[in-house]
Amino acid sequence: FITDEFKESVNAVLQAALKGKETATFEFALFHKNGARIEVLLNATTRRGPDGEVIGVIGVGQDISAMRAAIAQSMRVADDLTRLIETANAPIFGIDTVGNVTEW
């Protein structure tokens, strides 16, 4: 279900689609009945009849929870590695595939 926090913005996206304005990459959260949060990427576009009149909205939602979790984990690892390098008591350097020092 959509919580009160997101109802207004989701409604705005759908209303805009009814007026002919396409919305791509709108992100919001849905909540499962067990309380789990599901991150959704929504695309909404106008559905038109044979004579061009607006007859509805086509909405496609994609669960991006796993992608969001992977990005958050990557950022935590990058932050940990940055702190490790900044506080190391020994020299840390990088080399390329032919043995040239690229970082010092």
CATH number at residue 13: 3.30.450.20
- Does any domain span residue 39? yes
pLDDT at res. 73: 97
Domain range for 27? 4-87
- Does any domain span residue 23? yes
pLDDT digits (tens, 9 = 90+) for 27-46: 999 999 999 999 999 999 99
pLDDT at res. 37: 93
- Does any domain span residue 74? yes
- Does any domain span residue 104? no
b/e burial code for range 45-63 (CB count within 10 A of at least 16 → b): ebeeeeeeeeeebebeeee
- Checking if the pLDDT of 18 tops 90, the result is yes
pLDDT at res. 90: 81
Number of structural domains (the chain) is: 1
Burial (CB count within 10 angstroms: exposed 0-12, middle 13-18, buried 19+), residue 41: middle
pLDDT digits (tens, 9 = 90+) for 52-104: 999 999 999 999 999 999 999 999 999 999 998 888 888 888 899 998 998 77
- Does any domain span residue 101? no
- Does any domain span residue 100? no
